[in-house]
Each structure stands twice: as structure tokens, then as C-alpha cells.
Amino acid sequence: MATIVNTTEEEPMLAVVRSTAQLAWADAGPEVADPEVARLCAEAQQHLLAGRWLDMATLMLASADLLLLSPSAPDKDLECILTVICNLVTKAGSEDEALEIAKLICAKLTHQPPADKPTLRIKVLFSLYNLLPSLSGKAMVYRKALEVAAAAAGKAAADCVVPTFKNIDAFVAYWGIGKPEQRELFLAVTRILKDHKGMTKDYFKFLNKYLATFDGSADDADAIGAAKEEAAAAIVEFVKSSDLYQCDLLDMPAVAQLEKDDKYQPVYELLKIFLTQRLESYLAFQTANSTLLQGYGLVHEECITKMRLMSLLDLSGHCSGEIPYSAITKALEINDDEVEYWIVKAISSKILDCKVDQLNQLVIVSRHTVRVFGMPQWQSLRSKLGVWRGNIANAINTIQANKVTEDGGQGMQGLMIR
């Protein structure tokens, strides 16, 4: 049965209190219900006249409890009531009071059973977000919406928040939140994306964002240990992915800590193999750790495929622009007639640009993806750019000098004609 909230004849807040109170006391009989409804309405009227908006929010949320807990309550009615309550933040006398009201609303909405109307609660929280003037308040409400979506563990709830993830960087800059708040935000996003189909790239991206918030400073000493599970998850996602051939995980303190951890040390070793070594090292690791790989859902054949491509990238980085077929067959452990197949596979994966000299059995590399792009690679790029800049400057100077000479010659020729 629908709950009709009349907001035309009296103040909407009083109408909400009256309607929810009547519903709450409906089974008690008029002798008990009428005085209680009158008492609650009188209390609401006092809060309204005195401008006690925090007290009003407390009263209205308490009155709305029955609807929040009722699975049969119509969503439209509940949304209408909660929207009126959320609007209290616009009446607050200060940002601090508005923030306290927002916290009350968030607490009420996040402490409901996870499967109880999660999409509606997220929708209301986004409405509250838009009403709040405080940037820190907006950040808090957005995180609460993510909390509801993560707890619901359903596609419908996740679909409400996933489209907003493309704007996360803009949100962080707009809110001006610090590293701890960013860390909490990125972690919440990863928990939503973890089981969301078709979002593995985004899941890996936000795992990286989360892990990058740990810089190894003394301030992170107590918190960094909690990131071990996510660090291992990022490694596994990288190894699994058929689209990722470069990452900076080895440079992250949150990942580096795994090297000395008894549980996660083998996972860290696997990452080092994929980023710094060749197929031979992986095969030796797999022989000793096959159960571990299976436990993380890693398929041996898929790992071999990726490791062969990684080995080809390693060869490209250590050659002088030309790779003999014999070097490829040895590093990839393949037959001579398979070389061109793997070259084509690398080109189609957009990790290698090259030409094949079949006559001389050579692969001539013009570009390749660098597996780890850290400080040495940045320094190398800086040196190359410096050389290119110098070459361009020399070319410009030469052109200008030639132009001056040519103009001077033409001037002398004109003078002689006269």
C-alpha cells in the first residue's frame, strides 16, 4: 500500500513527520496513536520555529525508520521523504551544521541491510552530495555512496556509481583531499570493480592509484602493511592481463614490501620475472610454484604466451636495432618457423614496431614497449630529447645562415646590375 505524503497544505518537513508518525503508530489504535503523532508534530514545529535543523533531522530520520526497514515501502514515497530530509542541509546556519546533518543522514542510509534498496539509497546520497556546500562534506558523502554499492555486491548498485569513476581525478582535485582520504577513496573503488565484469583494466588502474598513495615515508609506516593484499592483487592482475606489458609496480613501496613477506614473497618474485627476466626464469618458477599459480587463478599456458612476448621485448631492449632469428628461438624456446608468428603477435598487441628481413633472418626493431618505465628510462628520454633539441637548433641555425648568405648574394647581384 502506497504512503501518500501531502506536502501542499503544510510545511513539507512537518508533513513528513506527520505521515511517518501515523504509519509508525498505525497498529496501536487511535487512543495511543493520536497523542503520539501530535507530540511528534509539536516537537517538529518547535524545531522548525527555532531553526534547530540538526534536531529536526534527528527527529525526521527517527520517524522514517519504519519506512526504511520495510521491504514493501514504495521507493517513490521513501525517496520523497528522504529528499525532504536531505534538503535540511540547505537550511543549516553554517557549513559545520550542514555537515553534521549530512553525517546523520549518511549513517542512517549506510547502516541498513546491504541488500535493502541499495540503488535508492545511492540515489539519495547523490542528491545529498549536490545539496552540500562543503567540499569535504561532498567527499564524505561520495565515499558513503561507494560504501553502499560495495556492500550491496550487486550489478545494479555498482552500475549507479561506476560511470562516475572516470571523473575521480577531477573529484580529488576539486575536493582538495589529502593522501589518506584519497587512499580510502581508491580502495573503495577497487572493491566495487573487483567483481564487476568487463572492468579489469579499471580495476588494475585503481589498484595502482591506491598503491601509489604510499610513498614509503614514516607517515605511512603503520598503514602500508594493510596494502599487502591489494599489492598482490595488482601483481596477479598484471600477469593475467593480455593487454598490459608495462607497469611501475616494482617502484612502489607498497609492492616492494612483499619481497620480505613470507606469504607474498613468491608473488613479488613472479612480478620481477615478468618485468626483468625471460621465459626460462618463468618456467623454473612455475616448476617450483605450480600450486601457488593455480591458487591465484593463473593459467600456465597463458603465462607462457605473455612471457614469450615479454622476452621478445627484453631482446628488443638489448639489441642494437636488429635481432637475429636464432636469438628469438632461444629466448622464446620456439622453432625457427614460429618466429614470424610471434613477431606478428607482438605487432598486433601494439608492443613492437619492426620489419622482418627474411633473407638475412633478422628482425629490425624501430620501436618497442619498455616493460618498466622508471627513473633510468626517464633520464634516458631526457637525454634523447636534449640531443633532438640540439639537432633541431643546429638545423635552424644552418637554415638561417644559408638564408642570410643567399639574401646577401642577391643584393650584391642587384647592385652590380644597376
Q: What is the pLDDT of residues 9-49, one digit of tens each?
A: 458 888 888 888 777 766 667 777 788 888 888 998 999 88
* Residue 20 domain flag: yes
Question: What is the reported pLDDT for 5?
Answer: 45
Tally of domains in the chain = 1
More confident residue, 409 or 161: 161
Question: What is the reported pLDDT for 4?
Answer: 46
Q: With contact defined as beta carbons under 8 Å apart, do 372 and 310 qualify?
A: no
* Residue 146 domain flag: yes
* Residue 392 domain flag: no
Mean pLDDT across the chain: 88
* Residue 38 domain flag: no
pLDDT in tens, 351-407: 999 999 999 999 999 999 999 865 555 465 566 676 778 788 777 878 887 776 666
Lowest mean pLDDT among 13-17, 265-269, 270-274: 13-17
* Residue 186 domain flag: yes
* Residue 391 domain flag: no
CA distances from 82 to 67, 99, 145 (A): 10, 16, 15
* Residue 33 domain flag: no
* Residue 304 domain flag: no
Question: What is the reported pLDDT for 108?
Answer: 92
User: Residue 12 sits in which domain range?
Assistant: 8-25+56-65+102-109+141-151+179-210
- Angle between helix 179-193 and helix 200-212 axes, rounded to 10 deg: 160
Pinpoint the alpha helices (H) of 51-134. Answer: 53-63, 65-69, 75-86, 95-110, 118-131
